[in-house]
């Protein structure tokens, strides 16, 4: 079974248990906290969007590191979900540029990747997940990264 099939299976079996009771997903201004998803696989992006939105978060996404930097500068997310291995403008490039940005440099990052050595690429990530992810563990890590 390919990654897309595993993600659909995960959505079918575990996604329903998450619910929409996430009070902590709101910012101090009463708005949903924004999460930027950076992954070159559209199916993974859609899955993470569904999971995060169902848990009370607003999502924005980008399919490569360059577009992700543009989205981050425009949207100022509270958290970034990052795949490090992408064909153009890698997650590593995005991470280095984000950390140099005075405004965006302290945004927490959760790495979700199948790449070997992903823990060496991003210094001090909030969490690291192999693909496919466990939805409940992932949402718990999101909450922790956002101090909820």
Residue 106 has pLDDT above 60, yes or no: yes
Domain ranges of the chain: 3-145
pLDDT band at 40 (very low <50, low <70, confident <90, very high): very high
CATH number of 3-145: 3.40.50.2300
Q: For residue range 19-37, what is the model confidence (pLDDT) as tens digits?
A: 433 345 666 667 889 999 9
Please tell me the distance from the alpha carbon of residue 71 to that of residue 45, in angstroms, as a whole number: 15
Please tell me the distance from the alpha carbon of residue 78 to that of residue 60, in angstroms, as a whole number: 11
User: If we measure between CA atoms, which residue out of 45, 66, 36 comes closest to residue 133?
Assistant: 45
Annotate 41-61 with b (16+ C-beta within 10 A) or e (fewer). Answer: beebbbbbbbbbebbbbbbbb
Q: What is the mean pLDDT of the chain?
A: 82
- Cβ neighbours of residue 80 closer than 8 Å, sequence gap 6 or more: 35, 36, 38, 68, 72, 98, 107, 108, 109, 110
- Cβ neighbours of residue 125 closer than 8 Å, sequence gap 6 or more: 108, 109, 110, 111, 119
| pLDDT recorded at residue 120 | 60
76 half-sphere exposure, CB direction, 13 A CA radius = 3
Question: pTM (2 decimals)?
Answer: 0.80
| pLDDT recorded at residue 34 | 97
pLDDT band at 9 (very low <50, low <70, confident <90, very high): very low
| pLDDT recorded at residue 21 | 37
Q: For residue range 109-126, what is the model confidence (pLDDT) as tens digits?
A: 999 988 756 556 677 899
Lowest mean pLDDT among 14-23, 48-57, 64-73: 14-23
């Amino acid at each position: 079974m390919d990654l897309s099939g595993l993600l659909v299976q995960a959505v079918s079996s575990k996604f329903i248990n998450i619910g929409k009771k996430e009070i902590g997903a709101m910012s101090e201004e009463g708005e949903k906290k924004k999460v930027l998803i950076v992954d070159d696989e559209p199916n993974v992006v859609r899955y993470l969007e569904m999971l995060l939105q169902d848990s009370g978060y607003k999502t924005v996404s980008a399919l490569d590191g360059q577009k992700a930097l543009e989205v981050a500068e425009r949207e100022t997310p509270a958290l970034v979900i990052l795949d490090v291995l992408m064909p153009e403008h890698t997650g590593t490039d995005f991470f280095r540029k984000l950390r140099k940005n005075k405004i965006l440099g302290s945004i927490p990052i959760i790495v979700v990747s199948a790449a070997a050595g992903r823990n060496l690429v991003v210094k001090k990530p909030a969490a690291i997940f192999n693909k496919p992810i466990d939805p409940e563990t992932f949402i718990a890590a999101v909450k922790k990264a956002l101090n909820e």
